[in-house]
Amino acid sequence: MIDRAHVGRIWPPWEVEIEKGRLRLFAKAIGETRPIYTDESAARALGYRSIVAPPTFAFCLLADNPSPTHYLDDVGIPIRGVLHGEQTYAFHEIMCAGDRVRVARRVDDIYEKKGGALEFIVFESEVRQCGTNELIATGRQVMVCKRG
């Protein structure tokens, strides 16, 4: 059973530099070949600062938490029994290679369904530009845990 005391838990925000090579690898992984996602000069020609990060990349930055422990371990969730149930995003600004961003995550809610057979934990996160504090995106992630 997930300890309800984790509701409201905040991880210390961390900063990440968006790297061209990482964006190219992400584009390759999702089969994205359009030049604004792979070619800096093509992206610049269209008015972008550099290679554009695809929308869902914003929350890949959550994996870059420098914490030595996995965030699921931090709240006592065994990764064998966990599934990603839902994901919601609000997109505010485009992020490009070379940007330096700050990422934050907190536990918003923990609840159960089916008489406790399934537990849910909701994480909220946001990505902001470091210099201007401009909001790039927010996310809400629902993880489903099978008990037992």
Partner 1 sequence: MTDAHMLDVKAGDSIPSLELPPLTRATLALYAGGSGDHLPLHIDSDFARAAGYQDEFMHGMLGAAYITRMVTSWVPQEYLRGLAVRFVAITYPGESLTAMATVAAVTDDGHVELEVVLRNARGETKLTGHALIGPSAPIVQRLQEK
Query: What is the binding site for partner 1 (CB under 8 A)?
Result: 22, 25-32, 34, 47, 52, 54-57, 59-64, 79-81, 83-94
In the complex, the smallest distance separating the C-beta of residue 133 from partner 1, rounded to whole angstroms, is: 14
* Closest to 58 (Cα-Cα) out of 38, 87, 28: 87
* Of residues 79 and 130, the one with the C-beta less far from partner 1: 79
Taking the complex as a whole, the smallest distance from the CB of residue 88 to partner 1 amounts, in Å, to: 4
Please, which residue, 9 or 48, has the CB nearer to partner 1?
Answer: 48
Close Cβ partners of 51 (under 8 Å, ≥ 6 residues apart): 20, 23, 24, 36, 37, 38, 39, 40, 43, 96, 97
Q: How far is the CB of 23 from partner 1 (least distance, A)?
A: 8
Give 5 or 25: the residue with its C-beta nearer to partner 1.
Answer: 25
CA quadruple 27, 33, 126, 134: dihedral sign: positive
Q: Which residue is it, tokens 């929350």?
A: 59
